[in-house]
Structures are given as C-alpha cells and as structure tokens.
Amino acid sequence: MKQWSIFGKKILFVICFCIAVAFSSTETQASTAVETNGALKVEGTKLVSQKTGQEVQLRGVSTHGINWDVGYPYISKAAFQTLRDDYSVNAIRLAMYTTEYYGYCDKGSAGESQATVQATLKQRIDTGVQAATDLGMYVIIDWHILNDKTPKKYQSEAKKFFKEMSKKYAGYDNVIYEICNEPNGGTSWSDIKSYANTIIPIIRANDSDAVIIVGTPTWSQDVDVASQSPLKYDNIMYTLHFYSATHQDSYRQKLKTALNNGLPVMVTEFGVSEASGAGSMNTSEAKKWLDLLDENKISYFAWSLSNKAETASLLKAGTSKTSGWSKSDLSATGKWVLGQYNTRSGKKTTSYKPAKVSSITLKNVKSKKVKVTVKKVSNATGYQIKYSTSKKFKKAKTVKTTKTSYTIKKLKKGKTYYVKVRAYRKMNGKTYYGSYSSVKKVKIKK
C-alpha cells in the first residue's frame, strides 16, 4: 500500500503539472486585448466584450494624419508593439484626413492623381489594420474631416470609402469605424444625423455589428446636444474631444449630461495641450479628465503618435526612431500621457526584456576570424556575443555589437570555439538582457 501511495502521488503530481501548464498556455494565448475580449458591442453607455460580457476600456493612441510624413512613418507592427508592450496601449486610431495636402477627397498640391492618393492612403490603412490585428489590438479607421467642416461635403466619397472598408474588414473583430472626426463651422447635429443615417446602413450591409463612432458638433464637443436626439441604431458611440489646456470643467459637464441621458461616449482624441495642439500643457486638468473617464470606463485615445514640433506630439521633435522608444525619446506630453497609461492599467513595471535570439550562424573566415550572424530580434538595441574554447564557457570572453553580424578576431588556429548570443535593450538608463541562443561551435581551420 505504501508503494502504491507513492506512485499515486507521482501520478497526481504529473496530472496537476499538466493542468497547470495547460492553464498557463491558455493565459499566454489570451493575453492580448482582442484575444481576451473578441468583438465589442455597446450596452447602455458602456463598451462591452461580446465574448465575456465584461466592460472594456480602450487606452489608445491616434496617429497624426497618415497623409503626411509626421504620421505615416509610425504605421508599423514594430511601432504599435512598442506602444502595446512598453506603454500599455491596447488600441490605435488611424487618422486619415479628407482634405489638405494628400487628402483623400482633395489632394491639394500633391503631384499624384487623386486616384493614386486614395490608393496610397488605403494601403496605409491596411498596413495599420494588419499590424494591429497581428498584435491583438483594436483599431479605428478615422474619416478625419476638419477643414471641410461638414461631413456632408464629401458624403458621396464617404459612402464609397466605408462600403469598401466595411466589406474588406467585415470579418475582423478589432476594427471600429469613425465616420466623421470633428464637424465644425456651424454644422448642426441635424446635419450630422443626416450624414450618419446615410453612412451607417452602408457599413451595416457588410458588417452587421461593428462599433461605429459618430462625431458631434463644434469639433466633437457637443455630446450633450447629441444626447437629446441619438441615432436609432445598435452599437453606436459618440465622440468627445478635449485638449486640457483649453477644455475644462464646462466641457466635463457636457460629458456628464450626455452620460446622464444614456449616451455612450468615446474620446477618440485628447491632448494635454491647447486645442491647437500647441501652446502650454495642463496636466492637472488632464488628470481630472482621465479620472472622470476611468470612473465611467470611457475609452480614450491620445493625440498624436508623431515627432511633429508641437506640444501634443508624443515623441520629441527630431526623434528619428520609428519604434522602440525609450523615455528619453518621448516629449514632455509623451512622458506624462504614456506614464499615466502604465499607471492606470495597473502595470507597475514595464518589461523591456527582448526576446530570445532564435538562431545564429558561424563562419570561419580568413586570418583566424569567425563571423557571427544573428537572426534579428525586434526592438533590440544590440547583441552580446559570448565565446570560449570551453563547452562550459570557462574563461569566456564577451563582445557587444549593435549590428546583426560581428567578426570575432585573434582566435587560435586549430581550436574549437563555442558561441552563444543574447539580445539586449537599453531603456531609461538601464540595460535589459534576453535569453541566450542555443550554443553553436566552429573549428578554426584557417
């Protein structure tokens, strides 16, 4: 009986271990926002997971206009992954201007034809959607009206655009449509409703349950007005934009009125600057805003992912990196906003550890040298190479390189060398190391 008891305990241990591994694997696979929540829907004033029924809050970042070189260089999987992994961002907004230079409806002084401009912008949108999808992030396709003032000006173009987009992305759980960014210039809620009543059925014909966001009058600030006469569709939200150095308590009262009237609101654009995107910062007012939004589980997107020389940009002016930003690459706005995201998401410390080097190759080149080639690790600052004539790496030497290939010199002919490599990443004044690759060996024959 005693022997059977010990055997039974071993069997029980193995079973428990397998269950734990399976559970751990499930947790890892369901770690992204989209994997956890799936498609979203609107219930009351809340954004809710269709998968779990739980409330969902998006903390996102908006690109600057993807029409321009201050916006489109940051449309990449590497950029979005940096935001997701290092700064607790779970959603991206792709802001496509309809007018101004390279506008979708009015290309301005751009040399290309309007058809070429449109094709280019749609390709940039697709790049952004696919990157967000690969990373399990939500993504807003934003029809960014501004200088055209009323969405009705280019309503026929919007109809064609959203018909194409909704057909293309109908099977995506993470795509959200924002059909008019900031109506202004006296555009009434009645005008916006008329436009929305035209566009929403077009999207619904292809995508029956996607979340659709509708702008509100006066640069998307009059959510209180919209709450008095909402649209009669499911899964609709209404936009509020604010810039904390300009829009303060009276605008928060508009939000509170809208919520009291049962209007579901999403802040698809906010900044800590003045409304122009320039001028002074007001983080104390911005904190009041974010506290109110968090209290009501309202999603919000920061303007903007750009190195443009203006206060609202999240990156320092002149920053050349298009991903892998350390704190020193961020503007004052970026440091505050993304710091708030990490704090408010409950992320106590950011993991900057790069992935394990998956493979290396070694080649004995002339004059007692070995060329080491490393398979690139995303967001790595560089690589540390350790080599020795001992399998156990006794008296090993190490070198560092920022490139994916490095030639080790002054080796001994006839000796066999063992080599392994790990990636490292420098963030906020510290160096973080990944795991070493498997060990490879090479004999010095020449």
The two three-digit tokens of residue 278, written as one number = 């320039």
Does 310 participate in catalysis according to the annotation? no
The two three-digit tokens of residue 109, written as one number = 């002084």
Q: How far apart are CA 372 and CA 406, in angstroms?
A: 5
Does 182 participate in catalysis according to the annotation? yes
Q: How far apart are CA 119 and CA 98, in angstroms?
A: 13
Q: How far apart are CA 289 and CA 291, in angstroms?
A: 5
Interior CA angle at 375 toward 357 and 76, to 5°?
100
Which of 35, 43, 178, 182 is catalytic? The answer is 182
Q: How far apart are CA 335 and CA 340, in angstroms?
A: 8
CA dihedral 295, 298, 299, 304 (to 10 degrees): -80
364, 376, 409 from 406: Cα distances, Å:
12, 13, 10
Which of 100, 178, 269, 285 is catalytic? The answer is 269
Q: How far apart are CA 340 and CA 47, in angstroms?
A: 21
Q: How far apart are CA 107 and CA 116, in angstroms?
A: 10
Q: How far apart are CA 126 and CA 332, in angstroms?
A: 31
The two three-digit tokens of residue 96, written as one number = 């496509």
State the Rg of the chain over Cα.
26
**Alpha-helical segments (H) within 207-281:** 217-220, 223-226, 249-260
Which residues lie below 8 Å from residue 1, measured CB to CB, with a gap of 6+?
A: none
Q: What is the DSSP string of 154-204?
A: GHHHHHHHHHHHHHHTTT-SSEEEE--S---TT--HHHHHHHHHHHHHHHH
What positions carry a catalytic annotation?
A: 182, 269
